[in-house]
Structure 1
Amino acid sequence: MVEELRLQQSSARNELNEIVSTNNNLQNQAYKVEKDIDILQIQEQALEQESHRNMEDATNKKVELSHFNDVVTELQGRTEALQQEYDQELKRENKLQEQIASVNGEAETVKETIIIQSRKLDAKQNEYNLTKSLVDNLEGFPESIRFLKNNHDWAKNAPLFSDVLFCREQYRVAIENYLEPLMNHYVVDTYNEAVKAINLLSGSSRGRAQFFILSNYVEDSGLQFKEEAVTGRIPALNVVEVDKKYWPLVNQLLKNVYLVNDETELSNTIVPEGLILLAQSGKFNKTKFTMAGGSVGLFEGKRIGRAKNLDILAKEIKNLEVYLFELKTKANELQNHLSSLKAAVKAAELSQKLADINRLNTELITVKTRREQYETFIENSLNRKDDIAKKVASIKEDMGNLKPLLVDLKDKNRVQSDLLVEKQAEFNELNEMVTVQSNTYNQENIRFHQQQNKVSGLNKDLDYRFTQQDNLEGRIKQNSGELEKVKLAIQENLQLSDTSDDSLLDMYNQKEELQKATQEAEEEHYKLRGKITQNEDAITVLRRQKDQADLIENELKEQRNNLRIELNALKERLSVEFSIDINDLPENEENNSENEQPLRSGLISLKAS
């Protein structure tokens, strides 16, 4: 029955999904038809506007056509005036060409500068984006660090040690290699903040984290650091930059650390006790008792001060953008000046004037040709008007066909929506029925297993009784055989003539002793057999209790699966009816360990009993 209901539930879910798919397809089709209608309306408006423009152009051409006759008369009077203008424009043209060459050279120089600075800006921007991505995503950090960083309520006042520290570029690799074990430590003000973070990690099983407690570091304002001119050792505190708040912490970590030249200190030079020497290149570090070193990776030194480096990069990018804006403004001014100079160039006009002087006699033919072109244009405009009218009629016809289709699609969509609501209600009712039947089935299954366990115990008791009966019958048969042998022995002894009464009495005594010993052995045997029976009964009871505990555990698993099915149904209903993804809803997750612990305790106690 339960399996049939589950099959019906699966079938109903598939049917519901098909209805949702059909509904979506109808919505998409309706949207496409609406889009096609909008496109046709736009095309209709564009064609009407084009027709209006063509008629206006044709009207203007007719007006211009009436003036061609007057142009012929004007051409003759312009010949002498054109020659004088040509000589004056030629002198001015030569001066303009010299100015254009000068401005063009300056514009090219500014353009090259813009290209160089743009590449530099792109490089800085890429470095900024990469660094910001690493800071935001915490790539390369343990899961515990990323978890605490994403907990904004806690992490907003607790930076990583690598973010509060900053130092000069040439010393970053050395400082980072020395402080590598501490770079992932969080810096907090008090123990309470650290305890809060530890509880967050413990409650979510997200690993471990380390913390610096600022309140426990005392500021030592009396220390001053200067470069040692004799040895060339630079105190590490002289090359780092931190906010005043974090100075006691950094002072505690680097107060005995000095930066040295690689080749000078890579020798057997004795290091005073308590002093730590770091190679400026990061190649090695050295104390009185230890020394470590090796190759330096290409990406080492990039973790330290990434947050501070972001601010510096942002300032550099801002300055470059301002500088580029100024260069582009200057380039635009030069380009505008150049454009104005080029606009003032009238080489084409000079050529045209010279051509006009040489072709004045043929200008009349040109004017007639243009008049013919205008007439042709007017005729084409009228033909184009007819074509546009036909296209507009075709568009209106298409729109007339699409509008009923749109109404039909909307009606079908409305019907499908109602069907979807009905099927969803049926599906929910079926889910409730499956839940009820599953609970009933689980109860019957528990009772079945209980009866089965009782039958199994009775069968084992019956087998033991049969075995005990066989053993007792075998012992009775054995004792009967021994009794017959004893009787035969007595008769033989009575027949012997030389056997005295004393011997007979001794033999009777021996017989009694043997019978007494046999009786004691049988009593001990039955006592042990009784203890074995009690232990087997206890084992049977424990086995029954274990089977009952297993049944309860299976029932709990079945309830959990039913809850998952109901959750999936709720998720589909939210998605279908309200277009809501359940994963987007705010989480209010209960503490599962608190709800699960009493169940586990009861199950363990039941198994132990």
Structure 2
Amino acid sequence: MRLKNLEIKGFKSFADDTVIHFNEAVTGIVGPNGSGKSNIVDAIRWVLGEQKGRELRLEHMVDVIFNGTKKRKEAPLAQVTLTFENTKNLLPLDYHNISISRLLYRSGESEYRLNNVTCRLKDITSLFLDTGVGSDSYAIIALGMVEDILSNKENARRKMFEQAAGISKYKARKRESINKLKATNEDLARIEDLLFEINNNLVELEKQAKRTKKYFEMRDKYKSTGLLLAHISVQRLKEKIQGLNTQIEAEIIKVQDQEVLLHQSEADHEKFKKSHLDQEKNLGDFQRKVNEILDSIRLTESEIQIKEQKKLLIKNQQEHVLKSSMDAKSKIEVLKQDILLIETEIAKTTLEVDKVNAYSSGLGLEYTEIQSRYDGLKIGVDQYYAQKQQLEKQVFDLEKEIAIQLNQYENFDADTNRNKDELEQRTNEFKSIQQEIDDSNKRIQDIQVVIADISKAEEERQATLVTLRSQIDTQTQKIGEINRRKDAKKNEYELLKSMVEKMEGFPESIRFLNQNWRKDVPVLTDLIYTDEKYRSAIELYLESTLNYYVVHSESEAVHAIRLLFSNAKGKANFFILDKFKNEITEPVVIPGCISAYSLIEVDSIYKPLLNYLLKDVYIQEHDSQLEDVIKFPDEVSVISLSGSIVKQKNTISGGSVGLFEGKKLGRKKHLEKLEQDIKVLESEVLDMDRALTYLKNEQKKFDLINKQQELVAARKQESEYLQRLAQISTKQQHFNELKERIELRIQDNTEKQITLRKNQEEKSIDLSKAKSSYQELINSISQSDQVFDKVSLELSQSAAAFNQSKLEVMKWQNTLDNITKDLEYKTRQIDESSRQLDHDLKNLNNQESELVQLDLDLMELKKNLEDRFEFKKNMEADLSSLEQEYYTIRNTISEYEGKIRTAQRNISDIQSMTNSLKDQRSEFNYRIQSSYEKAMIEFNTNIDDFVPDQETEGMEEEQLRDRAMYYKVRLDNYGEINPLALEAYEEMKTRFDKIQEQRLDIQTAQVSLLETIKEIEETATANFLMAFNQVRVHFQDVFRSLFTSDDDCDLILLDENDPLECDIDIVAKPKGKRPKSIHQLSGGEKTLTAIALLFSLYLLKPAPFCIFDEVDAPLDDINIEKFNTIIRKFSSDSQFIIITHNKLTMAEVDVLYGVYMEQQGISNVAAVDFRKYEHDVVLSGMEN
């Protein structure tokens, strides 16, 4: 099988269709970092089914799709196709060319294809199983995986050996078989639990089924009797309804006669009522006219009152307007006088303002002239002071530098003295440090001896604790087992006790007597006890008598029977002990049988009864063929051990044995034995608890003498001593370094002091010159300051006078403005008062005209009011006459209404009687309907369809009623039943049998799986060991070819007893080195070791192709030549695809593909065939 080509589209940085051909033995792939070389390897892993994003350098699988660039939009899907030539039919397909494809869409949908046909990932992994090809096979190796192989990260080393040995399919089958076995065990456990649960439920269901069957029989008898009673009752009710119908028809005729009389009276009543309504309408119209006259009178009176009030209001307003006009005239005269005074004051103030302005202007000219002289003098003074500040700064800086240098000199001198003192002190300290180092070494030796002693004692204590823990676990398991048995016994005891107390499985009569008669009288089933082995057989034989009471005398039995009869609680049977003779007959010995009497346990008082019941009754010792029972003589009764057949004189009975057969016999005795067993188990638990407590106390005692803390404390002390020794050693080293630094510092201080003394002398000369220049400048400044101070005083006085004149101008100007504003205000007040006066005079004229009009309106309204009063008086007289006529007709109508009410009352009485009869008929119909519904609800039968049976057909109604009541009481007192018990019992029994068959099938499958796992392990172990030994030999040969013939290496199984699961260790010892582990080798040696292991695997099982992703990066030039040589050697059997940055490796390949990015973020490839060029081995001399 050969790799033919790789097609990539939309995968990572390969946005465009890219095809890489692998037609040659060795193909190289090169390119700068980040160009997308490794994306080719990722594409091959991905198409082979890699599912881990981490292996593909992804966070999410969808990141394999090309994500776009600034100039290129993202791809909708990623698609990779790998094509093989099936040259050696290594792949189980009848195709020469086989292609596998994987597609991933942005929606997250994924698709695999085999020869362009959609398939599953499992189909692809199965296709390449044990071919050496896979997403995680040893055929694809990256540089980081070399370290993984050597460090055995995630069991990488073992996976490679398993692939080479071809046992992957065996391990896969083993995993599947183990998973199936686990599932089988879980299924078996569930089935066991299910069978246990169903078995418990079957016991209860069988009882419920028998009880339900008896209930249904009584219910059928009650149904036939109840339906017959209902049929008789319905026929009697129908006859009564017929008589009621005749009475109802007679009453209906009486009602019709009364209705004729009622209709005549109602006609006359309607005639007078119509006349009454007309009269009532006329009266209402006349009354309405009278009311309208009254309304108009009230309206006129209201208008007169309103106009009089309005007239009074206008007069009041006139008085107010006259007063306001007089006030306005007086105010106008006062304002005109004020304005004359204000105008005079404005003229005076204007003259003062002009005078003050002229004075202020003169002062301003004088101030400007003095300011000019002041500015000229100030420039000269400022220059002097600037020179002064500069000289002061120069003097200060020189004095500061001299002082600093003097201080530095003194500091260097003091530092030299301190260093000398410190050096002297440190010499004594060094001696004490050396003594402390010696003491620390002695303490470390002593504590190491103590640690060894404590470790030995702790190991002995731990061994004792392990033994004690094992004994405690064993004892705890035993206690748990006994507790489980005890709990099972207790549960059985509680269940059996509940059944005994509730008398479950007994007829109603027995339960009734147990509650209402004597509790000291036993039932036969409670007297007998026998071994569980024989219970089914004895219970089958005594089944008909097990519910018999055992009493001493006949009077006791009669008393019980009378109690049952009086309460209608059924029947009961009794054994009379007095009637049985106290004689015990010895049983006849029959080969193969045991006397049934000899197998039972019973009190001596009841032995005659049991001797009578079980006389000549034998049980077979072993189950045999059913036909064997026939061979016994007729004088004896023989029961098979399982209880499946009973042979008695002249009869044979038998059949299948129910699950609950034998559970009824000797329940009270069994209850006592269970109680004894529980006490024994409790005693055992108590003894074992004491033993467990002793063991735990021993464990606590050894826990208390824990040497671990002492060991930790000793090791901590050792660590402290070692740490202290390291600290002291470091301190000693620091002292030596400090001594050297102090001596160098003293020498440096001396040199610096000499330099400082020289600088101080130079700075002192500069300081003297600066101070002399400063004194000369001070004298010049003193003369200039006298002239400047005189001009400054003149400027200050002139400015003060000028400012005072400006304040005076502002004061007079403000006074003028205030007077002018007052004049404007007074003028506005005169205008407003004049307008108000004109408005008041106009209002007075209007109000006078309105008063005249109001007087005219009042006269007219009063005249109209007198006319309406006269008209009202005439209308009221006519209204009285109409009211008398209205009430006369109304009395006549009342008489006719009395006649109508009498007729209606008569009709109502007759209808009441009719309704009463109809109610009786409805009641009878309802009772009939209720009888039908009751029959349908209670018996699900229509009464009309009922046919009496022969048993009840001739009975009287009273007998039928008593019979129905009897069965009704029995059914009511029967208690709850499960109506589906019969069906559920059969269904559950069938299910129980079916599940038992399933359990047998699962147990068979379990054995088969265990055998399969064992066979797989044996085959896989043999194949693996054979492959391992071959690889081991190949590894040694390849390793020595890459290193030297004297180098040593080996492969070791760390656990030869479990070769399929144990780790595989690599031992590599190049010549001249003895590394303790492979991790101590150099990077190149590690790489060559990993390459040796890989090629030893290829020798065992060559992979169709191998991919090395920058594996040669750690190798030097010589080892690169070795690497290329072995590649060329193996290329005859396998294809090699090498991703590299090494030029020597590039020169060795047949075809070289260069990966580059013409556009940022988009990878392309270009191919070069190196076979066209000659190759010179540049390192041949070095090799020789």
From the two aligned structures, give the one with the greater strand fraction: 2
Q: TM-score, normalized by length of structure 1?
A: 0.44
Q: TM-score, normalized by length of structure 2?
A: 0.23
Q: Select the structure of larger CA radius of gyration.
A: 2
From the two aligned structures, give the one with the greater helix fraction: 1
